[in-house]
Each structure stands twice: as C-alpha cells, then as structure tokens.
Amino acid sequence: MPAITATAPGKAILFGEHAVVYGQPAIAVPVTQVKARAIVSPQPDRPRGWVGVQAPDIGLEKTLLDLPEDDPLSRVIGGVLEVTAIPQPPACTIRITSTIPIAAGLGSGAAISVAIIRAFSEFLGRPLHDEQVSNLTFEVEKLHHGTPSGIDNTVITYETPIYFAKTSTDAGNQFVILKVARPFTLVIGDSGVSSPTALTVGDVRQAWLENSEFFEELFVRTGDLVKHARQALEKGDIQVLGQLMDENQALLEKMGVSSAELDRLIQAARQAGAYGAKLSGGGRGGNMIALVPDSAAGEVAEALFTAGATSTLVTIIRS
C-alpha cells in the first residue's frame, strides 16, 4: 500500500465577505502559491484501526483516539471514516503541513480539511468526489467558525474563481464557476495580526442583532456591488473592479471589521498604483488584497512592506 499525498490551495475573498453569511453573493479565488498538504503513510506494524496524526507546524503528534472529539482534525478524519463506511482503516499515519498562514483570512483551516479528506479517502480506496469533499469540509468549518457561509470550502475544493450564493444550509451546489475574461494580478499583504474568523463573524452577528436595519442595508449594498463585480470580471473590466474593491472596503469599515493596520496597508497599495484594495476574509487583521496593473506588482509589494506588511505574495487570477 503506497503513501498518498494531496494538497489544497489557500483562498482570497475578492468581494462580499461577511454579507455572504447573511445570504448575499460573494466572489472568491484560489491562491495557489500557498498550500496545505496531507500525506497518509501505511504503518504495517500497527494494528488495524490505528491512526497516527502529525502536524509538526503546531507541534502535534497524537493518535486519533487521543485527540478530543471536537478537535477539527478528529472530526475531519472521523468524517472520512463515516462517509467511506470504513470504521477500522488499515493502520496509518496522517502527516499535515501547510504554508498557508493561520488566522489570516486565507482559508488555512478549510485547506487542511480538503487535503486530509482527499489523501485519506484515496488511501482507503474510496476517493470522495468534489461535492462530498466540500460538504465534509463545511461540517468541519462549523467548528472553526460557527456559522460559515460555505464559500471557503467551495473555492478551495474546486480550486477555481467562483461566484457563491448561499441558498440553504446545505453546502452543495451554491456556486457558479466564474469565467474571468482577462487574467489579473493581485498583491496580497499580511498585516501580521492574527484574527480568527470565528471572532469577527461572531462580532458582526452581535452588531447585526443590535442594529439589524443598519447592517441589513450594508449587506444588501454589498450584494449589489458583488453582482456588478461579477459583470466586470466577465467583461475583463479591471479598472471597474478596482473601484468596486474600494467601495466594498468602505462597507466593511462600516461593519467594523477593518483595523488601523489593514487601513494603512490598503492606503499604501492605492498610493503605489493599485486599481483598488480591500481587506480579505474575516478582517481585523490577517490579509488585505490589492488589484494592480501587472507592471506595478513589485512596487505595490514594496510599499506594503514599508507600511508594515509582514509578508506579501503576488498571484495571477485566471479561469
């Protein structure tokens, strides 16, 4: 029985984070420069049913049985055993590594789940298809942040730009694959501030409960802007996309999910020639994105460093 490896990319939300949790559409793209990786290796000297779990990045080395039941890794591995109907797998070790920064809005939790599900189900001889991978990842995402919209598991599973609109509590079939008319360049800058999505999603929920009329209006305006952005993407109208990013950022600021560090990076990117810039993901920290002319990517990345970014990456988005 050979070892099996699978990887999954990071993601960036181009438009519509937070409002998407309340039923508005959003647009997300995969970020393939960073990856989560799972390697499942047989352990023929161990008894059937033994599963070792190693995540050296966070100093974890345990068996499945020793992990708390509500640990996301335990849920994802247990979920694969359930869906494949193999309660006693051949003994193996699942080793997880990732270059996706944690709690930074780039989908690290969902990518780890997708990589494990793909590698482990294939190791068991029952590779799951994309919809099953996405659905199971969605279940695990609920542990990470309570009321996920389902956009992260979808874009990371299908690894293509998507227009996502939540239509039910079920994770499947809520998206269309976007045809991007013209490749475009994003510079992603990390504020270096760790910000778990669960916290910002919870805070927005609280604020929405206290001031629902104001927040509903912000969500609806975000949804309208996302529909407009979809058209611009499909037409290749990059300058309009940049303006819409700036408008989306203004709405996110009103939702209370930006921060001084993010604002500084966004401003620096605009001054260095970006068409537009905004936070991406849960906000309050983590990453921001800037849409840039190809020739300005280096200059914008440099400006982000000067304004305090701890790392940057440049990615080209295409269909």
d(CA 287, CA 239): 22
For tokens 């910002």, what's the residue?
A: 200
From 88-96, 125-133, 146-154, 172-180, span contacting ligand MEV (CB under 6 A): 146-154
Please select the residue that binds ligand MEV; options are 30, 148, 242, 285, rule is CB under 6 A: 148
149 touches ligand MEV by CB under 6 A: yes
21 touches ligand MEV by CB under 6 A: yes
Residue 174 or 185 with smaller CB distance to ligand MEV: 174
d(CA 215, CA 237): 29
Q: How many helices (H) and strands (E) does the chain have?
A: 9, 11
190 touches ligand MEV by CB under 6 A: no
From 14-22, 58-66, 91-99, 221-229, span contacting ligand MEV (CB under 6 A): 14-22
Helix (H) or strand (E) segment spanning residue 11: strand 4-15
Considering only residues 196 to 225 of the shown chain, the ones binding ligand MEV according to CB under 6 A are 197, 201
Residue 21 or 94 with smaller CB distance to ligand MEV: 21
d(CA 146, CA 125): 32
Q: What sign for the dihedral angle of Cα 101, 159, 165, 143? A: negative
* Identified catalytic residue from 152, 203, 237, 294: 152
Please select the residue that binds ligand MEV; options are 14, 17, 112, 315, rule is CB under 6 A: 17
Residue 65 three-state SS: helix
Q: Please indicate whether residue 70 is annotated as part of the active site.
A: no
In 3D, which of 76, 73, 80 has the Cα closest to residue 53? 73
Give residues in contact with ligand MEV (CB under 6 A). Answer: 13, 17-18, 20-21, 148-149, 151-152, 197, 201, 281-282
- Which residues participate in catalysis according to the annotation? 152
